[in-house]
Structure 1
């Protein structure tokens, strides 16, 4: 695309790196962020040119860097993962933790909600993927055929007819898991560098992965095939699909690119 993205405003409030942001289409004036300052912030967007948004609530509880955060589909709850080895489920209206998830033995790097918000998945530096219920009970730990290095990113597919989890790791591999039995379906080994991110398309038919090798790779989740490689010239730190079309957005270095 030849269009240029225009900076609309900057949100200031964290005292460390911002590690993740989460949004929900039902609440277009709200953004949730997490940071290496060990906190999460709920922002209210004002869209004022001089002050685009203000911190509405700061959430305390984690004792180390907060590495990831996601919102529930109704926008009422948040799920965070931290280097303190725990996950937390937050009631955003009350501004407090409702559940604390403890079973990982090293830093939690990635968390995700299932589409119905009834299941939770996490990935960690302990090289495991854990499946939880919302009562903070670990229902399954994926280790067989698992990643040989840190699990950097985990995501559920939104497709009910093909219930899967997708994971990416520092072993340069994208893995696709059957959600019903937590068994490995596919391993994608085309990357040549560690992976930071994986994302699933809104219809659950595709996933995209990226990391150190500066390539975004597209995979067909129905038949397990590698579809396409998008080359770039910098490490890819984050990927996401547009919610309503097959646009892929990548963050790398100081820039954002849309394919």
Structure 2
């Protein structure tokens, strides 16, 4: 009995509450503002455009195509069974359609506009531009002397000599013209992974897997400064062209900015989540760019020591970066492909696909020849502007070494851009030059303009 009473009282309360709410909203309904029909119509149009905009665009294109086909086909003949007004058996009961000249002019104008739109669309169709002709490259010299994998190379600004660092812990300086050994520098206790020669001072900078960064005075061939701070192997270094600043990067996922003279760690550029394999530096913005095994490229503000933006287009580790010597652009190399970017915002330009290997290193000269070196000893030569692959080479393995020791670890053009120096896993240094006897007739460009260049993102 008590349960029935309680249930009845609960139902009564709920009913009263609903009635009170209903009466309250009903009484307030007259106070609401009137519906603005114009605003409501605009809202519906925006919503329809947002939801079905692509469908509307497709419909417009289809209508434009139909109108263009109708214009090209000409006036339609009268259907069979109808009587022409000029025929002899025409009478007064013949139905003559009403034609408005203004409407006819309007329809013709619309047809002309749609025809122009379609013509513009056809003009914008992507076509592969004709690549510039480059002479083929050939191997001219093989230099032996290191007792381990040759991991890095740097050319002196005067173009007289170049330096190489290897797994035998020695830095060797070679005469560029003759290929003769000039000096061997010892001091590292592990593999030398990065070298840079200053254009403003008689200094050579080196870094290695022993976590050391050294500054060598080339007048005395001695180490005069050490830069301590990296927690693991240092894989890459770069010099700022106008400021006395050194940037190093390595396996501790950071890039560090050093004051060259005071040895102070000015900035620690943090943000990467894996080994930083490459760092490059320039005077313009962005001043520092790093590529990492976490598949990202970061552009840094050197003054603030902060990341400006992160490029995530690569799907595999970024092994090397290189600036174009004359254009405000750079390229990145990875096992998935090579990508070109525009500074200062890192705008993606194009993919260079086809080098099906782990791309360890890149080099580019002022003539627009981009070279990529793979871990299987392959060299691919590309035209920078069009991304056309005009030559492929397989580096010959040094006699006595294994076939597997065919990897190319680093490469650089000399200051003139006419000689390419590569350092390899067969413990040799190879120098390539352009074939002076080649012409456009002997080595034509295999260019097919009807094949459209597809962009892969």
For residue 76 of structure 1, report the CA deviation from its aligned partner. Answer: 6.2
TM-score normalised to structure 2 length:
0.44
Q: Which residue of 2 aligns with 1:207?
A: 420
Structure 2, unaligned stretches of length 5 or more? Answer: 1-181, 186-220, 398-405, 439-457
Find the residue that maps to 1:100 and give its secondary structure: strand
Match of 2:302 among 69, 92, 95: 92
Distance 1:213 1:3, change over 3 A: closer
Separation in 2 of the partners of 1:112 and 1:224? 29
Point out the structure with max Rg over C-alpha: 2
Do residues 45 (structure 1) and 250 (structure 2) align? no
Separation in 2 of the partners of 1:14 and 1:224? 49
> Equivalent residues in 2 for 1:123-202 (5 A)?
123-126=333-336, 128-134=337-343, 135-143=345-353, 146-157=354-365, 159=366, 162-192=367-397, 193-202=406-415
How many residue pairs get aligned? The number is 213
Do residues 78 (structure 1) and 293 (structure 2) align? no
Q: Is the 8 A contact 1:200 1:206 kept in 2?
A: yes
Distance 1:103 1:224, change over 3 A: farther
Q: Which residue of 2 aligns with 1:245?
A: none
Separation in 1 of the partners of 2:331 and 2:437? 21
Q: Is the 8 A contact 1:72 1:117 kept in 2?
A: no
Which deviations, in whole Å up to 9, do the C-alpha atoms of 1:143-182 show, x marking residues without a partner? 1xx322100011221x2xx212111111201222111211
Q: Which has the higher strand share?
A: 1
Q: Which residue of 2 aligns with 1:109?
A: 319
Q: Is the 8 A contact 1:173 1:191 kept in 2?
A: no
Separation in 1 of the partners of 2:255 and 2:330? 19
Do residues 36 (structure 1) and 36 (structure 2) align? no
Which deviations, in whole Å up to 9, do the C-alpha atoms of 1:53-80 show, x marking residues without a partner? 1211111111111110000144861110
Q: Is the 8 A contact 1:40 1:58 kept in 2?
A: yes
For residue 25 of structure 1, report the CA deviation from its aligned partner. Answer: 3.7
TM-score normalised to structure 1 length:
0.76
Q: Is the 8 A contact 1:152 1:170 kept in 2?
A: yes
Which deviations, in whole Å up to 9, do the C-alpha atoms of 1:179-222 show, x marking residues without a partner? 12111122221243111011111111111111101111111146
For residue 132 of structure 1, report the CA deviation from its aligned partner. Answer: 1.4
Separation in 2 of the partners of 1:224 and 1:166? 21
Q: Is the 8 A contact 2:330 2:341 kept in 1?
A: yes
For residue 116 of structure 1, report the CA deviation from its aligned partner. Answer: 4.0
Q: Which has the higher helix share?
A: 2
Q: Is the 8 A contact 2:413 2:421 kept in 1?
A: yes
Separation in 2 of the partners of 1:95 and 1:110? 21
Q: Is the 8 A contact 2:318 2:332 kept in 1?
A: yes
Separation in 2 of the partners of 1:91 and 1:116? 21
For residue 9 of structure 1, report the CA deviation from its aligned partner. Answer: 2.1
Separation in 2 of the partners of 1:2 and 1:57? 34
For residue 103 of structure 1, report the CA deviation from its aligned partner. Answer: 1.1
Distance 1:140 1:221, change over 3 A: farther
Distance 1:81 1:221, change over 3 A: farther
Structure 1, unaligned stretches of length 5 or more? Answer: 48-52, 226-259
C-alpha RMSD of the superposition: 2.1
Q: Is the 8 A contact 1:191 1:213 kept in 2?
A: no
Q: Which residue of 1 aligns with 2:54?
A: none
